Chain A
Amino acid sequence: MEINDKLTYEEAMQRLKEIVGELERKEVKIDVLSSTVSEAKSLVEFCREKLDSTEDDIKKIIDPEAEGQT
């Protein structure tokens, strides 16, 4: 799955779950294992970054003044 602006958090998480399922069911061939894990890694980065930025946004909304201090 390609990481771009159109990618949504849900899609990324869905793909991550698929990968975990495939790994769990040992369906990932050795030839594609590294590419699959690297795809998973970029998806993880994407989701983590999305979560962090959303959380920051909410913090800013809740306490705009505090934003100045952080």
Chain B
Amino acid sequence: MAQNRKVYSLSQLNQSLENHFTTKFGERTFWVTAEVIKVNAKNGNFYLELADSKNNTMTAKSSATLWSRNYRVIQDQVGATELQGILKPGNNVLFALKITYHPVYGLKLNILDIDPAYSYGAIEKRRQEVIEKLRAAQLLDKQKSLKLPAIIKRIALIGSPDTSGFTDFNDELFSNHAFNKFVIKVFPVRVQGEQAVPELISAVKEAACFDADVIVILRGGGSKMDLAIFDNFDLANTIASSRLPVLTGIGHETDRVVADLVAHSFFKTPTAVAAYIHYAIASYKEIMGDLYDRIIHRAQRLISVEREEFNHINRYLQHHSGTMIQYWRTQFQQFENEVITAATSIVHASKRTQDNTIHQLIYQVERTVQDHQNEVDRMLEDIKVNAVHLIDQERKFSIVQRIDQIRSHSINQLERYAVVLENYNDLLDMLNPHKMLMEGYTISTIEGTDVQDVAGALTGQTLKTLTSKQLITSEIKAVKNTTKEDGNQR
């Protein structure tokens, strides 16, 4: 058995393989879809690892080479960034390739061309799947229910700080707009490659704990493939469930990623996000200004209406208080007139009655006067008669008697007075000091007071002694009490 075995060398084998491949496949170009697993670039040549999988299990794997020459050709067609975006691990790509076999390096796929539409299609397909999943989980519109604050001041900024998108955003935000008191907290993340999605997710979660008004996710430019990371379901779910509204400024004008769809609001570019923030503030300011003006106008209007009513009421008040007084005055006037007329009529009436009574009274008086007159006349007559009679009587008896009585009475009276006079005379005579002096008595006085009546010590005092012939002035040397116990001689 062993003897009829034909043995080849490896080289022979590989050589024959090479020949086989060359003849069989050498000239043919194959359009092959595969997922890029790994990409290494060296000297402008790209060495890729491609794979295929079904239900998440790998079904095929090959290495492929994109020589720089072919790279440049493709790049001219597709665009540098797009090409770079496509040649990224995880992307499904449609390659035009030739199969080559090299005895040393083995089977090699030589990439000639790429059809980006397929990748885009794959991305789109995947995007739609994610969107369906989100819709099913009712996450698509969750952010829309969040209220965007009128003034966005505190921003949690997620993006890659040194990318153009980032700088565009900051330029727009801090250029000389009216408002620039923003508080920015940057959450630097990669916005490309495998690490981008997990970093973005944790950044969004972390940003939600930050005291911000909004979360802004920026990714300037980039190829469709690059932007495909923003179609990731977990990222979209994180964005949708974020408690803070998320604004996205991802890609170019036309790019629309899933993150945009679930975000509260999305904008064409990072600059557009900053512009919107300013626009929101400006419009808020404008609204506030407008409201302020309307409030002021309304307040002024209210004041003038109130003032108008006030003046109206005031005028009414003055008018009516005037008329009120007038009313009462006229009322009073009327009453007064009535009173007066009533009074005058009463007066007239009473006058009349008075006149009557007066007349009656006069008549009465006259009559009584007359009666009295008569009475008086009569009495006069009587008096006259009596008087005459009395006089006669008086003349006959009582006058003489009266005179005698008067005479005796007055004589008695005179005698009594004479006696009294006599007595006074004697007394006077006795008390006549001159007589006493003549009899040898003296009158001693101190300053006009009788020495006996002077109280206190007498020694040293000036004594005036009056005799019948002289007035002696002397000084008291000594005083001797001459009264005896029984005090009867001085």
Contact = CB atoms under 8 A, between A and B. Distances in A.
Consensus secondary structure, chain B interface = helix
Interface of A: 9, 13, 16-17, 19-20, 23-24, 26, 28, 30, 33, 37, 40, 44, 47-48, 51, 54-55, 58, 61-62
B366 interface: no
A43 to B, nearest CB: 9
A37 to B, nearest CB: 5
Contact of B321 (A9, A13, A23, A62): A23
Nearest to B315: A20
Interface in B294-319: 296, 299-300, 303, 306-307, 309-310, 313-314, 316-317
A55 B303 CA distance: 7
B310 A51 contact: yes
B183 interface: no
Given A20-B316, A23-B320, A33 B328 contact: yes
B324 interface: yes
Interface string B277-306: 000000000000000000010011001001
A62 B307 CA distance: 19
Contact of A58 (B303, B313, B324): B303
Interface range on chain B (Cβ under 8 Å from partner) = 20 to 34
A55 B332 CA distance: 44
Contacts of A19: 317
B316 A58 contact: no
A22 to B, nearest CB: 9
Contacts of A62: 296
A30 B331 CA distance: 10
Given A13-B310, A20-B316, A26-B327, A37 B296 contact: no
Nearest to A58: B299
B296 A58 contact: yes
A57 to B, nearest CB: 9
A28 B324 contact: yes
B300 A17 contact: no
Given A16-B317, A23-B320, A48-B310, 4 more contacts: A13-B309, A33-B324, A47-B310, A58-B303
Given A17-B313, A33-B328, A58-B299, A51 B320 contact: no
B299 A40 contact: no
A17 to B, nearest CB: 6
Interface in B349-385: none
10 nearest CB pairs, A to B: A23-B320, A37-B321, A20-B316, A30-B328, A23-B324, A16-B313, A55-B303, A58-B299, A51-B307, A40-B317
Nearest to A59: B300
A56 B332 CA distance: 46
Nearest to A28: B324
19 contacts: A13-B310, A16-B313, A20-B313, A24-B320, A28-B324, A30-B328, A30-B332, A33-B325, A33-B328, A40-B321, A44-B310, A44-B317, A47-B310, A48-B314, A51-B303, A51-B306, A55-B303, A58-B296, A58-B299
B320 A58 contact: no
Contacts of B310: 13, 44, 47-48, 51
Contacts of B410: none
B326 to A, nearest CB: 11
A7 B391 CA distance: 104
Contacts of B325: 33
A69 to B, nearest CB: 19
Nearest to A25: B320
Interface string B150-167: 000000000000000000
Interface in B423-470: none
B180 interface: no
Contacts of A17: 313
Contact of A61 (B296, B303, B321, B323): B296
A68 B96 CA distance: 82
Nearest to B310: A47
A26 B321 contact: no
Nearest to A27: B324
Nearest to B293: A62
